[in-house]
Chains A and B, each alone.
Chain A
Amino acid sequence: MTQERINSLGVFLIFIFPYLLYSQSDTSIYDGLNLDAVEVKTEALGSVISLKDPKLKTIISRAELKKAACCNLSESFETNPSIDVSITDAVTGTKQIQLFGLAGKYAQIQVEMTPLVRGLLANSGLSYIPGAWIHSIQLTKGIGSVSNGFESMTGQINVELLKPEDIIDDIVIKNSAKIRVNNYINQGGRIETNLIYGKQISNKWSLGILGHASGRSLIVDNNKDGFADNPIGYQLNGMVRARYFGQNGWEGLFTIHALEDQKIGGQISKNLNFPISSNPWQSRLQQNRFSISSKTGWVNPKNPNQSIGVILHGYRQSMIGNMGSSDDAINQKELSAHQIGGVSQFLFRQDWNKISHTGSIGVFYDNYDINFNAGGYLQGYNRPFVEQNIGISSEWTWTPNEFLTLVAGGRFDWHSIILNSKTRVPFSPRIHARIAPNDKNVFRLVFGEGFRMALPITEEWGRVASNREIRWDQYGSVSGGDQLSLEESTNAGISYTGNFIFNYMPGSITANIHGTWFNEAVIHDYWSNRMRYIYPDLTTSNESEFAMISQSAGISSNYKLDKKTEIRLAYRFQNVVVRNQIHGLDPVSILMPAAFVAKHRALINLSRNFMKSWNLDMTVQFHGKQPIPSTHPRAPGLSGEIISYGQAYNLLNFQIRKNTKNGDFYLGVENALNFQQLNPIDGVVNINGDLLTPSNPTFTENFDATRIWGPIFGRMIYFGLNYKLIN
C-alpha cells in the first residue's frame, strides 16, 4: 500500500516535470561557486548534566535563564531543582540561595574563577551579577575542584559572563559591532536596563562593555504594616572587557568592573501618620566595588597537552549600612566595612596518555576594616585585620578507559589566621570518582574537606534586622579575623545520572544523596528568646560533636513530552540540624532544626513552544513548612514542640515569550496564586491594625523582621524585552 503510494508520487513528479531527470548531471552552472561560511546553529538545551564529567556538574545556558525573569544571578536558579532561592527580606531586598539546605556562603561562588560573592559581598553579591550579562552557569553539587581554593564546602558555582566574542558571536569581521539591549519592568516598581556592546577592534583584539542600571522608586506596602515590601534604591553596574587572541597559543581577558548600590527600606512610606517628632525605623545600605582582573593563558602550540594560566585580580569593596530609629538608640545598628584585596593564581596543566595533572599556586590577600556598632555589648566594635593565604594544590586525573575516571587532589594552605591554630592542619583532600557501566548511565562519588572564614555580621546583615540583642556566647566574640571564625566541613555524596529514550523522546534522570558535616561553624542562634547569640565554637568541649549536619537526597528528571514540550520534575528531601546552646545554670548544647530550611521541596517546570515563535514556561515550586525563629519565652527547649513553623506553600510562576528576528519580549507573572505571608514583621502593628512608632514599648520589645519565610509582595506581573541593534 505504502510502496505503491511512494511509487506513484515519484512517477507523478517525474511525469509532470521530466527535466528533473537530468538535473543531477548538470553541474556545469555551479563552476566557480563560492561557498559562504557555514553557520551551524544547534539549539542549546537549557540545563545539561554531562555524563563525562567526574563531578555532578549542571551547565545552565542562556536558554534556561530565559525561562524565568531573572534579573540577577540569585533569581536565575528559580527553575533549577538543586538550588533553593530563599525569600527576599524586606530590609535589604537580597535573595539568598541554599544548596543542600545550607546557606549559599558555603558554596564557592565565582565569576570566571575569580571571587565576587565573597568577603563583604557575600551577602548581596548574587544581586550584582545581572541576568542579562550571564553567558552560562556551571553548578557543581558536592565539593569542587581543589585548584580553585579551599572554600567549596558544599559545591561550586562558576558564572561565565558574556565575553567580547560571545557578544559579537559572528564570524570575525573587522570593525563589526553589536549592541544588545534588555529592559524590564515589574508591578513592584522595579525598572531595569542592560546594555551590552561588543566590537571587534583588530584581528587580535575585541572589546565588550556590559552596563546595568536598575532601580525602584515606588514604595509599595501591600500588607499595610508600615514597612515597605521592597526596599527602594538603585544599582549601577558596569564592566569593560578586552579580549586578546594572539599567535603562538597566547590569549588574554582583561576586565574592569565597578558597581554602586544603594537601598533604603523600612518605614519609608510618606503616609505613615506618625507624630512629626518621631523617627521611623529605617534601614540604609550602600555597597560598592571596583575591581581589575587579568587572565592570561598559553597553550603550547607544539604540544597542546601543556598549558599555563595566570589570573591576577585586585579589588576594593565596601559595605556601609545602618538600621533602626534614633528614638530607640539601644537597638540601632551601624556598620561600616571596607575590604581591599587581591588574588593571584597560577595554573598549569599537563596531559599524558591516561593521566593528567593540574597544579596551582594561589595567593590571596584581604585587608578588612569592619566597624560594627550596636547597643549593649557591642558598642563601637572595631578590629581591622588581614587575612592572607598561600596555597598549593595538585590534582591528578586518571582515565584508564571510558568507563572510569578517578580524580584525587590535595591542597595545602599557609593561611595567616589558621596557621596559629594548634588543632587545624590546613590540608584539604578531595576525591572524585566516575563509574559509567555504559554510555547512558553514570555513578559518581565525591568526598572532600573544605573550610572558610566567617564574617558573621556582614554575611547575615539582613538577619540582624530585629530588636533581639546580639551577643557573643562565653567562648568569645567573633566578628571575623580570628581562629574562632573558622568553619570547617566534610562533604560526601553519591549520585546517579542516566539518559533514556522513552516513546522516541529523550530524557534524563538524576538522583543524589549528599551529606555535609561541620566540625566547626559560626552559628546564629535563632531559637533563644529575644536574643541573637552568635556561637563561634560550640564543639570545643567535645571534639567528636558536629556543629552542623546537612543530609540531602534528591531526584529530578527532565523529559521531552513531545517535540514541543519539555518537562522537569524534581523532589528533594533535606534535613539540616544546627547545634544550639540551652542557656541555663548548666549550659548544654543540642542539635536543633535549622531555621528557614524546608524538609521537603518539589518543583515542576513545563515549557512549551507553540506557533513556532512563542514559548510558554510554567514553574510550580512547592516549599514545605520551614522552622522559623521562635518567640516562645522558653525556647529553645529539649523537646521540639516550641519550634514554630511557617506554613507550606506553592509558588506558581508563568511566562509567555515571543521570539522575533531581532530579539524577544516576555510577559510573566510571579506568584500567580497570590500567596502572601501574613504579618511578616513582628511588633509593628497593634491589635487594632494601627502602625506603631519605634518608640512604642510593644515595638521596642517585639520588633523582628527576620522571621520571613514566605513572599510578602504577593502576585507580581512583569514585562521585559531583549533586542539587538547592529551597526
Chain B
Amino acid sequence: MKYFILCFSLLLTTNAFAQKKVELRFITDGVCGMCENRIEKTLLNLRGVWTAEWDLSTHETFVVYNTKKITENKIHEALSDVGHDQICYCTKSKILAFEESYSNINPCCRYRDRNVIEAHK
C-alpha cells in the first residue's frame, strides 16, 4: 500500500510543477492520414511540445507547448523542414517549405499537386 501512495504522490507533484503551457492554432497543408502522422509525430518529437493534433478536414493544427522550452518559430520551422506549408491565423502569413524538404515527402502526400488532391477525394 505504501508504494501505491508513494507513486501516486509522486505523480501529483510532477503535475503540480508543470510549467506554463500555451495553445497555438494554425493551418498546415496536407492531404492524407500519412500527412497527419508525419505532422503530429514531428511536433510531438519536439522538446517542449505537450500535445499536437492535426485535423484532416479543416487542416488545422493544434499545438500546446511550453514557452520556456520552445519558441513558436521552432515549431513552424520543424514543420517546414519536413515539407509542410503553413498559414498563421494571426498574421495571415504563409510559411512555405523548402523545395528539397517538400520533394522528400512521399509522392502520395504531395499536397501542392492538384492531381494528388483529386486522388484523395
What are the residues of chain B within 8 A of A606 when measuring CB–CB?
7
What are the residues of chain A within 8 A of B114 when measuring CB–CB?
27
**Does B93 make an interface contact (CB < 8 A)?**
yes
Interface contact A567-B108, CB-CB below 8 Å: no
Interface contact B4-A30, CB-CB below 8 Å: no
Of chain B, the residue at the smallest CB distance from A620 is B3
**Does A2 make an interface contact (CB < 8 A)?**
yes
**Does B51 make an interface contact (CB < 8 A)?**
yes
Interface contact B95-A6, CB-CB below 8 Å: yes
**Does B104 make an interface contact (CB < 8 A)?**
no
Interface contact B72-A2, CB-CB below 8 Å: yes
What are the residues of chain A within 8 A of B88 when measuring CB–CB?
3, 6, 10
Interface contact B11-A3, CB-CB below 8 Å: no
Interface contact A504-B33, CB-CB below 8 Å: no
What are the residues of chain B within 8 A of A612 when measuring CB–CB?
45
**Does A169 make an interface contact (CB < 8 A)?**
no
* Shortest beta-carbon distance from B24 to chain A in Å: 9
CA distance A608 to B118 in the complex (A): 40
**Does B57 make an interface contact (CB < 8 A)?**
no
Interface contact A38-B33, CB-CB below 8 Å: yes
Q: Contact partner of B76 among A9, A620, A650, CB < 8 A?
A: A9
**Does B44 make an interface contact (CB < 8 A)?**
yes
Point out which of B15, B44, B95, B114 has the most chain A C-beta atoms below 10 A from its C-beta. Answer: B95
Interface contact A36-B96, CB-CB below 8 Å: no
**Does A591 make an interface contact (CB < 8 A)?**
no
Of chain A, the residue at the smallest CB distance from B62 is A504
Interface contact A13-B93, CB-CB below 8 Å: no
What are the residues of chain A within 8 A of B76 when measuring CB–CB?
6, 9
What are the residues of chain B within 8 A of A602 when measuring CB–CB?
1, 4
CA distance A40 to B106 in the complex (A): 13
CA distance A13 to B99 in the complex (A): 11
Interface contact B116-A23, CB-CB below 8 Å: no
Residues of A within 8 A of B (CB-CB), count: 45
Q: Contact partner of B32 among A17, A38, A41, A567, CB < 8 A?
A: A38
Interface contact A561-B90, CB-CB below 8 Å: no
Interface contact A6-B73, CB-CB below 8 Å: yes
Q: Mark A604-620, 1 if CB is under 8 A from B, else 0.
A: 10100000100000001
Q: Contact partner of A6 among B7, B64, B90, CB < 8 A?
A: B90
Of chain B, the residue at the smallest CB distance from A29 is B113
* Shortest beta-carbon distance from B27 to chain A in Å: 12
Interface contact A33-B90, CB-CB below 8 Å: no
Interface contact B34-A33, CB-CB below 8 Å: no
**Does A622 make an interface contact (CB < 8 A)?**
yes
Point out which of B80, B85, B96, B119 has the most chain A C-beta atoms below 10 A from its C-beta. Answer: B96
Interface contact B96-A20, CB-CB below 8 Å: yes
Of chain A, the residue at the smallest CB distance from B45 is A612
What are the residues of chain A within 8 A of B97 when measuring CB–CB?
20
Say yes or no: A622-B93 contact (C-beta < 8 A), given A33-B113, A36-B106: no
**Does A5 make an interface contact (CB < 8 A)?**
yes
Interface contact B71-A563, CB-CB below 8 Å: no
* Shortest beta-carbon distance from A460 to chain B in Å: 31
What are the residues of chain A within 8 A of B85 when measuring CB–CB?
24
Within 8 A of B (CB), among A640-698: 648, 650, 652
Interface contact B107-A36, CB-CB below 8 Å: yes
Interface contact B7-A620, CB-CB below 8 Å: yes
Q: Contact partner of B72 among A5, A10, A38, CB < 8 A?
A: A5
Interface contact B116-A503, CB-CB below 8 Å: no
Within 8 A of B (CB), among A1-49: 2-3, 5-7, 9-11, 13-14, 17, 19-21, 23-24, 27, 30-31, 33-36, 38-42
Within 8 A of A (CB), among B66-103: 71-73, 76-77, 80, 85, 88, 90-91, 93-99, 102
CA distance A42 to B72 in the complex (A): 27
CA distance A604 to B93 in the complex (A): 47
| Range class of the B interface residue count | 35 or more
**Does A531 make an interface contact (CB < 8 A)?**
no
**Does A569 make an interface contact (CB < 8 A)?**
yes
Q: Mark A481-504, 1 if CB is under 8 A from B, else 0.
A: 000000000000000000000011
What are the residues of chain A within 8 A of B80 when measuring CB–CB?
13
* Shortest beta-carbon distance from B69 to chain A in Å: 12
**Does A439 make an interface contact (CB < 8 A)?**
no
What are the residues of chain B within 8 A of A20 when measuring CB–CB?
96-99
Q: Contact partner of A33 among B15, B91, B107, CB < 8 A?
A: B107
CA distance A309 to B110 in the complex (A): 44
Interface contact B95-A567, CB-CB below 8 Å: no
* Shortest beta-carbon distance from A167 to chain B in Å: 24
CA distance A3 to B91 in the complex (A): 6
What are the residues of chain A within 8 A of B95 when measuring CB–CB?
6, 9-10, 13
* Shortest beta-carbon distance from A34 to chain B in Å: 7
Interface contact A14-B44, CB-CB below 8 Å: no
Q: Contact partner of B4 among A14, A34, A35, A604, CB < 8 A?
A: A604
Interface contact A6-B18, CB-CB below 8 Å: no
Q: Contact partner of B96 among A2, A21, A567, A648, CB < 8 A?
A: A21
Within 8 A of B (CB), among A544-602: 561-563, 567, 569, 602
Interface contact A10-B71, CB-CB below 8 Å: no
Point out which of A6, A13, A27, A40 has the most chain B C-beta atoms below 10 A from its C-beta. Answer: A6
Point out which of A11, A21, A39 has the most chain B C-beta atoms below 10 A from its C-beta. Answer: A39
* Shortest beta-carbon distance from A28 to chain B in Å: 10
Of chain B, the residue at the smallest CB distance from A34 is B107
Interface contact A503-B106, CB-CB below 8 Å: no
**Does B58 make an interface contact (CB < 8 A)?**
no
* Shortest beta-carbon distance from B114 to chain A in Å: 6
Say yes or no: A24-B112 contact (C-beta < 8 A), given A5-B72, A606-B7, A620-B4: yes
Of chain B, the residue at the smallest CB distance from A28 is B113
* Shortest beta-carbon distance from B31 to chain A in Å: 10
Say yes or no: A9-B77 contact (C-beta < 8 A), given A2-B90, A604-B7, A612-B45: yes
Interface contact B3-A7, CB-CB below 8 Å: no
Within 8 A of A (CB), among B28-72: 32-34, 37, 44-45, 49-51, 64, 71-72
CA distance A23 to B90 in the complex (A): 24
* Shortest beta-carbon distance from B119 to chain A in Å: 6
Point out which of B1, B49, B119 has the most chain A C-beta atoms below 10 A from its C-beta. Answer: B1
What are the residues of chain B within 8 A of A648 when measuring CB–CB?
1
CA distance A41 to B34 in the complex (A): 8
What are the residues of chain A within 8 A of B50 when measuring CB–CB?
504, 562-563
CA distance A648 to B4 in the complex (A): 13
CA distance A604 to B119 in the complex (A): 47
17 more contacts with CB within 8 A, not counting A35-B116, A41-B37, A620-B3, are A2-B90, A6-B72, A6-B73, A6-B95, A10-B95, A17-B99, A23-B99, A33-B113, A33-B116, A36-B108, A42-B37, A504-B50, A504-B51, A563-B50, A567-B11, A604-B7, A622-B1
Where the two chains meet, the residues of A that have a C-beta atom closer than 8 Å to any C-beta of B are 2-3, 5-7, 9-11, 13-14, 17, 19-21, 23-24, 27, 30-31, 33-36, 38-42, 503-505, 561-563, 567, 569, 602, 604, 606, 612, 620, 622, 648, 650, 652
Contact sample, A vs B, 10 pairs, CB 8 Å cutoff? A2-B90, A5-B72, A7-B93, A17-B98, A27-B113, A30-B113, A38-B33, A40-B37, A503-B15, A602-B4
Where the two chains meet, the residues of B that have a C-beta atom closer than 8 Å to any C-beta of A are 1, 3-4, 7-8, 11, 14-15, 18, 21, 32-34, 37, 44-45, 49-51, 64, 71-73, 76-77, 80, 85, 88, 90-91, 93-99, 102, 106-108, 110, 112-116, 119
Q: Considering the complex of A and B, which 7 residue pairs feature the smallest CB-CB distances, nearest first? A: A40-B33, A10-B93, A20-B96, A30-B113, A504-B51, A3-B91, A35-B108
